[in-house]
A and B are shown apart, each in its own frame.
Chain A
Amino acid sequence: MLKRLLSVISLVLAACLGQAQAADETIKIGYVDPLSGTFAQQGDASLKHFAYLFDRINAEGGALGKKFEIVPYDSKLQPAEALIALKSITDQNIPFIMHCAGSNVAAALIDGVSKHNARNPTNRVIYLNCGALASDLTNEQCDFWHFRFDANTGMRAETLVRGLPQTLQSVYLVNQDYLFGQTLQKETKLYLGKLRPDIKIVGEELIPLGRVKDFSPYITKVKASGAQVLITGNWGPDLNLMMKASVEAGLDLAYYTYLAHVVGGPTSVGAMGENRLFTVTEFHPNVPSEQKSAEGEAFVANWRKSHDFDLFQMNNYALLKMLAAAINQAGSTDALKVALALEGQTVKDMMGHNYIMRKEDHQMLEPLYAAQFVKDVKYDSEKTGFGWKTVTAVEAENLAQPTVCKMKRPAS
């Protein structure tokens, strides 16, 4: 934080005095996420992941002989702030802007980066999307300068449906009433229809985001419908309170979720979730031991020495590894060259799984795991005594989904 004081002062002084800034020995990546206020938790968790992952990538050699350095900015979950941060990043000629949380910010950035690059061709920047999952961003709204390094809603829906038990007959869908939740609802229905037409959707519900305190009336409806499984993309209090209400009412349901593994999820659910709770995640602490990878286990064990929550953002490790490979391939950090080198890149994680960056829509394909919350696992989550066990794993190659993206490619 106080380091920023130095660089901001030097920036202003340099601007006033018109002197070029000293050549940097590091490759900087601007990172924009909520770091203060109500949603600070999301930025905080990602920042801690990045601290660990940056150390690892730099230990693996960085790129072009230089180390990577993260430059965090506080988006306060507001598009205007993120766009101002973008200006600060481009002022310093930093060619990469990374962002994970908030579809309103993502929409602003994908548009802002595209327009900036068109209007300032000598100072272009690549938007590395590490977490905004709405599928539009690599379909209708796709852009050449945007690269998504996390499985989108469609890929997760497919994995979740593949993870459903064969004997299942009826499901109830509950999601939050905003773009992300609505997209999840749509995609879940789509893949249920495609892969499991035998399952009946006996009810669906869209709840206002973060406002419902008492889920009993919803649970009443679910009970009346006779569903065996509840599929939901709820996160935070919306997931936790819903499960509480349902367990307290004595309903014998299984919960197939998209976000129960995110920081704070296991703590809130606790014993309530034993055997009932499922999630779709990029990674969980027991994956390396399940796949007998000593290197992966060491990676996880090292993290657990200084962190109370799970390491699950393996996609961000792939992001950094791909970026390093692309920079090395391009031989520079020029945005256009790196972007062209990123397309089609493939990297492997410690367990040997592939991560592929597709050229047609800049969506990264990654392995996804449908996992169950159980007691007898080697590594528990957030000191609850329960942890994740993989039920179904889907490889990156099998998650290639069709896209309607028609990308406008820059001339030069």
Chain B
Amino acid sequence: MSDAARSISAAKPRRAGSAMTWLWVLGLVLAIALPWFFYDLAKARHSGFMVSMFSQAGMMIIFALSYNMLMGQAGLLSFCHAVFFGFGGYVCIHALTGASNGAFPVPMEVMPLFGGLAGMALAIVFGFMATKQRATAFAMITLGIGELMATAALMFHHFFGGEGGITSDRMIDRSLFGLSYGQSIEVYYLIVFWTMLSVIGMFFLTQTPLGRMANACRDNFERAQFVGYDPKIVRFIQFSLSGLFAGIGGALYAISYEIVTFDSMAGPLSANALLMAYIGGSTVFAGPILGAVLITLLQSGVSLLSNSWLVYVGVLFITMVTFVPEGIAGIIMSHGPIRKAGKLGRLAVPYVRILVPGLIMVLGFVCLVELVSFQTIGAAQGKKLVLFGNPIDIASNIPWAIAIGGLIIGGIWLRFEAVAFGRVWDEITAELKRVEART
């Protein structure tokens, strides 16, 4: 299916009770239940690390989805999206201080809305300039805006606090439910609530004429003009609304960490949004959700295990960009018609056949990177290379042979299996086309 057709089909209205709705409900239930899987009965508390990571994932889901409003839905590549996230955070943290000393008596549950409004206000100001252009010019303008704002955040101390940032206390004693928000689990559920609201909001937007026209402007802006809408206005509104949701994410960041610094506005965070949206799949609405979860796990989880995690991010990126440009969600969605035709079972064995060599190749690669990294950097840092309790001696040839062998053998074997898999896939798609043509 072409990109355009795919995205339209992904945005089709869900009939009540259809499988997709149940999937969303299941996701929500999972999100609510998740911290309890990591509950330490002996110490009678949640794993703080896991709850923090899930909270981070929640914020990033909102952030990545709002970024996809621009990239996937409107075809706008933005390099300054973190500016709205960070600005929403700064406004929210000042609002928290205001709530504590009585100047801004708003309950905690409503706080993120004000971060969102701040993000939207800034997006309106910048969007007015940036959306006059499209494509590369737009991208470059946003690059400039991003750099300017990140440096301004370091220069102007009153609002941005320099590199120490602004801190506040989230226990403001104002809550609609009487919660103190002292424990991170309470903040987690606040985040779940607002993530749900934002997801519903952004999904709703894709169903509106604005959402559809944004798609149209992305696909063919000249033709969209003929329909009667000015692409500049469409881009402007879409940009402003994406700033609204980014600001909500930023406000949740402020509430969760109680500190906002300049790096919540900086380039690397905008780049993160791009990564998450693309890897998850920018053509499917739920794609960035998957991407956000995966990248958060990589950044906060894998980095615990390895200081070469950036290499893995880079390689993952390159692999996705070369072989899977539609993202993880895109791949999953492309199985849709096959599942409907009941032919999914035929892919089971081919999948196993590519999974095994794929796994060997990945493990070989990881081992090789870790061995090299340990030899050149880690050893001098006093670390020890241990796998499942067995210390690994890098001087001997065996670990190297295993790593390189796994990489090469896995790679060659994978190529064979991938070709075979491709054949099976093509067969099935051809069959489906024949069935379609007949009916």
- Whether both chains belong to one complex is answered with yes
Interface residues of A (CB under 8 A from B): 1-6, 8, 11-12, 14-16, 18-20, 35-37, 40, 44, 47-48, 50-52, 54-55, 70, 72-74, 76-81, 83-84, 87-88, 90-91, 93, 103-104, 106-108, 111-112, 115, 119, 134, 136, 177-180, 182, 208-209, 306-307
Inter-chain contacts of B78 with A (CB < 8 A): none
Q: Which partner residue on chain A sits nearest B164 by CB separation?
A: A107
Chain B 368-403 near chain A by CB (<8 Å), digits 1 or 0 = 001001100110111111111100100000000000
Interface residues of B (CB under 8 A from A): 37-43, 47-53, 56, 151, 154-155, 162-165, 167, 169, 182-184, 253, 257-259, 261-264, 299-301, 303-310, 370, 373-374, 377-378, 380-389, 392
Checking B263, B299, B385 against A1 with a beta-carbon cut-off of 8 angstroms, the contacting residue is B385
Contact A91 B47 (CB under 8 A): yes
Contact A2 B370 (CB under 8 A): yes
* Among all A-B residue pairs, the 9 with the closest Cβ atoms: A51-B382, A18-B41, A107-B164, A87-B48, A88-B49, A47-B381, A3-B386, A104-B261, A87-B52
Inter-chain contacts of B384 with A (CB < 8 A): 3
Cβ of B72 to closest chain A Cβ, rounded Å: 25
Cβ of A360 to closest chain B Cβ, rounded Å: 22
Sample of 18 more A-B contacts, CB < 8 Å, known A48-B381, A87-B48: A1-B385, A2-B392, A3-B383, A4-B305, A11-B47, A15-B38, A15-B40, A36-B309, A44-B377, A51-B380, A74-B307, A76-B299, A79-B165, A83-B259, A87-B52, A108-B165, A134-B164, A179-B164
Inter-chain contacts of B310 with A (CB < 8 A): 36-37
Whether A88 touches B304, Cβ cut-off 8 Å, given contacts A15-B47, A107-B165, is yes
Inter-chain contacts of B165 with A (CB < 8 A): 79, 104, 107-108
With A and B bound together, what is the CA distance between A14 and B42 in angstroms? 9
Contact A84 B53 (CB under 8 A): yes
Cβ of A35 to closest chain B Cβ, rounded Å: 5
Chain A facing B: main interface SS: helix
Contact A8 B163 (CB under 8 A): no
Checking B38, B299, B373 against A16 with a beta-carbon cut-off of 8 angstroms, the contacting residue is B38
Contact B162 A179 (CB under 8 A): yes
Checking A2, A87, A134 against B387 with a beta-carbon cut-off of 8 angstroms, the contacting residue is A2
Q: Which partner residue on chain B sits nearest A35 by CB separation?
A: B307
With A and B bound together, what is the CA distance between A1 and B387 in angstroms? 9
Contact A8 B304 (CB under 8 A): yes
Inter-chain contacts of A209 with B (CB < 8 A): 154
Inter-chain contacts of A81 with B (CB < 8 A): 299-300, 303
Cβ of B368 to closest chain A Cβ, rounded Å: 13
Cβ of A127 to closest chain B Cβ, rounded Å: 14
Inter-chain contacts of A179 with B (CB < 8 A): 162-164
Inter-chain contacts of B164 with A (CB < 8 A): 103-104, 106-107, 134, 136, 179
Inter-chain contacts of A106 with B (CB < 8 A): 164
With A and B bound together, what is the CA distance between A79 and B377 in angstroms? 25
How many pairs of A and B residues are in contact by the CB < 8 Å rule?
164
Name the residue among A15, A16, A36 with the largest chain B CB count within 10 angstroms.
A15
Whether A14 touches B257, Cβ cut-off 8 Å, given contacts A81-B300, A84-B56, is no
Contact B261 A1 (CB under 8 A): no
Q: Which partner residue on chain A sits nearest B38 by CB separation?
A: A15
With A and B bound together, what is the CA distance between A77 and B253 in angstroms? 17
Q: Which partner residue on chain B sits nearest A53 by CB separation?
A: B382
With A and B bound together, what is the CA distance between A74 and B300 in angstroms? 9
With A and B bound together, what is the CA distance between A4 and B378 in angstroms? 13
With A and B bound together, what is the CA distance between A47 and B53 in angstroms? 25
Name the residue among A51, A79, A83, A136 with the largest chain B CB count within 10 angstroms.
A79
Contact A15 B259 (CB under 8 A): no
Cβ of A90 to closest chain B Cβ, rounded Å: 6
Cβ of B143 to closest chain A Cβ, rounded Å: 15
Contact B386 A48 (CB under 8 A): no
Inter-chain contacts of B43 with A (CB < 8 A): 20, 93
With A and B bound together, what is the CA distance between A136 and B164 in angstroms? 10
Q: Which partner residue on chain A sits nearest B308 by CB separation?
A: A36
Cβ of B381 to closest chain A Cβ, rounded Å: 4
Contact B382 A178 (CB under 8 A): no
Checking A108, A119, A180 against B259 with a beta-carbon cut-off of 8 angstroms, the contacting residue is A108
Cβ of A4 to closest chain B Cβ, rounded Å: 5
Cβ of A258 to closest chain B Cβ, rounded Å: 17
Contact A80 B382 (CB under 8 A): no
Contact B386 A91 (CB under 8 A): no
Checking B38, B259, B381, B389 against A79 with a beta-carbon cut-off of 8 angstroms, the contacting residue is B259
Inter-chain contacts of B53 with A (CB < 8 A): 84
With A and B bound together, what is the CA distance between A103 and B165 in angstroms? 9
Cβ of A170 to closest chain B Cβ, rounded Å: 28
Contact B370 A51 (CB under 8 A): no
Contact B381 A112 (CB under 8 A): no
Cβ of A118 to closest chain B Cβ, rounded Å: 8
Cβ of A206 to closest chain B Cβ, rounded Å: 9
Cβ of B30 to closest chain A Cβ, rounded Å: 16
With A and B bound together, what is the CA distance between A83 and B261 in angstroms? 13
Contact A208 B39 (CB under 8 A): no
Contact A1 B184 (CB under 8 A): no
Inter-chain contacts of A77 with B (CB < 8 A): 263
Inter-chain contacts of A136 with B (CB < 8 A): 164
With A and B bound together, what is the CA distance between A40 and B311 in angstroms? 14
